[in-house]
Amino acid sequence: MPVAGVIGAVTCLALDRDRLVAENSEEITLSKLKHEAELVAHALKVGAVYAKKRGVGEFDTVDSQKDKITYLYRLLVHDKLIQPLAKGQESEPHMKHKLALWMSRQLPEGHALLQ
């Protein structure tokens, strides 16, 4: 079922800069973090160690980045370390953004990726 059918037309919804900004129910844009790609890459490294120590799996070299992002996102949601995305908004760009935000909160103040 399309998002528009569930929540109706959203004319303008503006949330703080770390959250989604929607012009309407079909067009969603994300507030870009300065080093988002690097934060996602770092989150995947940290997440691989977390998953291995937790005993729920390991990332293989043959796993695609999309699969790693989805797995790590769902693991962190399951462990209640991040808030889940709204139903129908679970896309790769949104998951990447959530992982980047999570990683930015884990890094110490003054870290190069937070500059």
Mean pLDDT score, 75-89: 95
Q: CB pairs under 8 A, 24+ apart, for 92-97?
A: 92/66, 93/30, 94/20, 94/28, 94/30, 95/69, 95/70, 96/36, 96/40, 96/69, 97/30, 97/33, 97/36
**pTM (2 d.p.):** 0.71
Domains of the chain: 1-31 (no CATH), 33-114 (1.20.120.1930)
Q: What is the reported pLDDT for 29? A: 55
Whose tokens are 């079909």? That residue is: 26
Place of tokens 């037309």: 9
* pLDDT tens string 28-81: 456 677 889 999 999 999 999 999 999 998 998 899 999 999 999 999 999 999
pLDDT of residue 1: 40
pLDDT of residue 30: 62
Structure tokens at 48: 């691989």
* Residue 15 Cα distances to 38, 42, 84, 115, angstroms: 24, 26, 16, 23
Q: What is the pLDDT of residues 93-110, one digit of tens each?
A: 999 999 999 999 998 888
